[in-house]
Amino acid sequence: MIDMIYVIGLDIGTTSTKAVLFKMDGSVVAESESAYPVYHPHPSWVEQDPFEIEAAAIEALQTVISKGAIPSQQIASVGISSAMHSLICMDENQSPLSASLTWADGRSVEQAEQLQRGKGKAVYLNTGTPIHPMSPLVKLIWMKENKYEPYKNAAKFISIKEFLLQRWFGQYVVDYSVASATGLFNIHTFTWEAEALQLAGISEDQLSTPVPPTYVCEGLKDEIATQIGIRSDLPFVIGASDGPLANLGIGAISPGDVAMTIGTSGAIRQMAAKPKTDELQEIFCYGLTKDLWIMGGPTNNGGIVLQWMKEVIGEHETQIAKQKGISAFEVLTDLAKDVRAGSDGVLFLPFLNGERAPYWDANARGSFVGLSLAHKKEHLVRASMEGVIFSMFSVGEALERLAGKPVNLFASGGFARSSLWLQIVADLFGHEVKVPESHQSSAWGAAWLSLVAIGKAQSLADIKHYIPMKDTFTPDLANHKTYQELYLTYRNLYDALKPNFETLANFQRNQNLS
C-alpha cells in the first residue's frame, strides 16, 4: 500500500537545512529545520562553514526520523535538494581550504562587469547562467585574479551538496542542475564548457562528474548512518537544485505551469522541453535531465525584505508578538493588510542586496519613492511586500517572452504562509494562484525524484496526483488595475535610478558598507 511507504526530502538552503518526512501521497508526517550562520569577513563577502551545514543536515535528518517515529526499514529513500551557486575549494585530501561562498557573495562585481564586456554573452548562451557575482565561474575568476590562496592550492572546486556527498559517500559527483548553475556547464552538450574553464583557470578534472538527478549514492559511511539513526544501505538520491525541485514538488512541470517561490530570496520558473537563451540575458536556463530544462529568474530580495523591515521599524511589533506568542512578521503583515492596494502611491524598489533577474545588477539599491507626510509605517510595510512582487512580475515578463504566457500559477516557499502576500500576487499578476498544503515544495520534489530513481514511482509527471492543495487566491480586478498602472512607474524607476545606484554602491564600498 502506498500509504505505508515513507520518503525523506532533505533541502539544504541558504540559512538552514530542512528535512521533511512524507508519505507517498505527499502528506507531511514530520519536519525539522536546523539553522546555521552566515559570515561576512569582509565587505560584500558572504560565507558559511561547510562543517556547520553538514552538522545541521545530520541534525535535521536525525530529528525528523525521531519525530516521525517511523522504523528505518519503512523509509524508502532520501532525495536531496540544495541552494545553487555555492563554491568551496577542496584539497587533495578532501578537506576544505575555504569557506563555502554563497550565491549572495558579492566580491566579484568587477570581474562580472569585465566578463560582461568581453566573452560573457557567448558563455551565457552556452551555459544558461547569467553573468553575475553569484556565479561560481565569476567567483573563480576573482580567485584567479586575486591569487586567492585556497584557489591556488585546490584539487577540487565543489558546491555544498557535493561537499556532503563526498563526506558521506566518498564520491565527487554533481547533478546536472547544480552543475548548470556554476556557469561552467554546457546545457546543450551536458559537459563542462571549455571556454568557461579557461576563463576560470581550472581544468575539468578539478570538477565533479556530472550525473542525472536520479543518480543513487551508495556506500553511506557507518558513522554517518549511526548519527542519523538510519540503516547504512538506505538509498540517497542526488536530486537537483532547489529551483527545479520546487517546480516539481508543486506540480508545475507542464507547458504553461509557472511556479513562484519566495524564501530568503525568490524565483519564478517554468519547465521547458528545449533549452532557450537569447542575447538579452535576462533569465537563466539550467538542465534538469537531458530532455527537461528549467527557465526563469531569481531575485535577491524576497523574505529578507520583510526581515529588514522588522529590524528597522518593527521594534514595537516585535514586542507585541512576544506578548501574544506569535511571529513578528504576522503582526507586521496584519498592520499592512488595511492599507489599500498600491500603498497610496508609495513604491519600493526592493534591491537591498543588489539584484539578479532581470537586471543582473549588483549595484542596484533599495529605494522608497513617493513618500509624503500622509504615509505611515503600515504603508512602508505594504509597499515593501508589493515591491517584492513587482520585482517578481518583472522577471515573469522576461520569462513569458521566451516560454510563453502562464496557464497555471503556483506559489510555494515561506511567503506562501502569508495570505496577504499571496493575494498581492493574484492581484498584480491578474491570475489565480494555487497553493499546496505544504510549503516545502523543494523537499517534496526531491523526495519524489528519489522514488522515481528507486522504481517506487513511475515518472516525474505522476507527482501531480500526489500534491495535496490547500488554497486558491482569485485576483481582485480593481486591485489588478491599480497594480498595472503603478507597475509602469515601477519599471521606469530602475532605468531612471541606475546611474545613481552605481554611484551610491561605489560610495558604500569605499565606506565598507557593502
Q: Clarify whether residues 143 and 30 are in a common domain.
A: no
Contact 14, 101 (CB under 8 A): no
Helix (H) or strand (E) holding 410: strand 408-412
Which one, of 278, 288, 276, 300, lies nearest residue 357 by Cα?
300
315-324 helix and 303-313 helix, angle to the nearest 10 degrees: 100
- Average pLDDT estimate for 292-308: 94
Residue 268 lies in a domain: no
- Average pLDDT estimate for 255-276: 92
Cis previous bond, 41, omega within 30: no
pTM to 2 decimal places: 0.89
Collapsing DSSP to helix, strand or coil, 360 comes out as coil
Q: Clarify whether residues 346 and 398 are in a common domain.
A: yes
Residue-level pLDDT at 264: 84
Question: How far is the C-alpha of 68 from the C-alpha of 64, rounded, in Å?
Answer: 6
Which one, of 237, 249, 183, lies nearest residue 213 by Cα?
237
Taking 60 as the threshold, does the pLDDT of residue 3 lie above it? no
Residue 343 lies in a domain: yes
Q: Clarify whether residues 42 and 102 are in a common domain.
A: no
Provide, rounded to the nearest whole percent, the portion of the chain with pLDDT above 70.
Answer: 99
Q: Per the structure, how many domains does the chain have?
A: 3
Contact 372, 343 (CB under 8 A): no
- In tens, the pLDDT along 122-152 reads 999 999 999 999 999 999 999 999 999 999 9
- In tens, the pLDDT along 403-441 reads 888 999 999 888 888 999 999 999 999 999 999 988 889
- Average pLDDT estimate for 157-167: 98
Taking 50 as the threshold, does the pLDDT of residue 228 lie above it? yes
Q: Clarify whether residues 98 and 135 are in a common domain.
A: yes
- In tens, the pLDDT along 434-489 reads 999 888 899 999 999 999 999 999 999 999 999 988 999 999 999 999 999 999 99
Residue 493 lies in a domain: yes
| Neighbour tally for 110: CB within 10 Å | 14
For the stretch 28-36, contacts whose Cβ atoms lie closer than 8 Å and that sit 24 or more positions apart, written own/partner, are: 28/437, 28/438, 28/440, 29/68, 29/70, 30/64, 30/67, 30/68, 31/64, 31/67, 31/440, 31/443, 32/59, 32/60, 32/61, 32/63, 32/64, 32/67, 33/60, 34/59, 34/60, 34/63
Which one, of 54, 64, 37, lies nearest residue 95 by Cα?
54
Q: What mean pLDDT value characterizes the chain?
A: 95
Q: Clarify whether residues 145 and 45 are in a common domain.
A: no
Provide, rounded to the nearest whole percent, the portion of the chain with pLDDT above 90.
Answer: 89
Q: For position 356, which CATH number holds?
A: 3.30.420.40
Which residues form the domain of 44? 1-84+159-172+212-253+410-417+431-467
Q: Clarify whether residues 333 and 438 are in a common domain.
A: no
Q: Clarify whether residues 57 and 30 are in a common domain.
A: yes
Q: Clarify whether residues 381 and 233 are in a common domain.
A: no
Residue 270 lies in a domain: no
- Average pLDDT estimate for 295-310: 94
Residue 290 lies in a domain: no
Q: Clarify whether residues 11 and 26 are in a common domain.
A: yes
- In tens, the pLDDT along 55-73 reads 999 999 999 999 999 888 8
Residue 266 lies in a domain: no
CA-based torsion, 79, 84, 88, 89: positive or negative: positive
- In tens, the pLDDT along 195-210 reads 999 999 999 999 999 9
Mapping DSSP onto H, E and C, the string for 208-237 reads CEEECCCCEECCCCHHHHHHHCCCCCCCEE
Residue-level pLDDT at 5: 86
List % helix, strand, coil for the chain (3-state, nearest 5).
45, 20, 35
Cross-strand bridge partners of residue 301: none
- In tens, the pLDDT along 213-225 reads 999 998 999 999 9
Cross-strand bridge partners of residue 174: 210
Which one, of 289, 62, 80, 67, lies nearest residue 169 by Cα?
80
Residue-level pLDDT at 514: 62
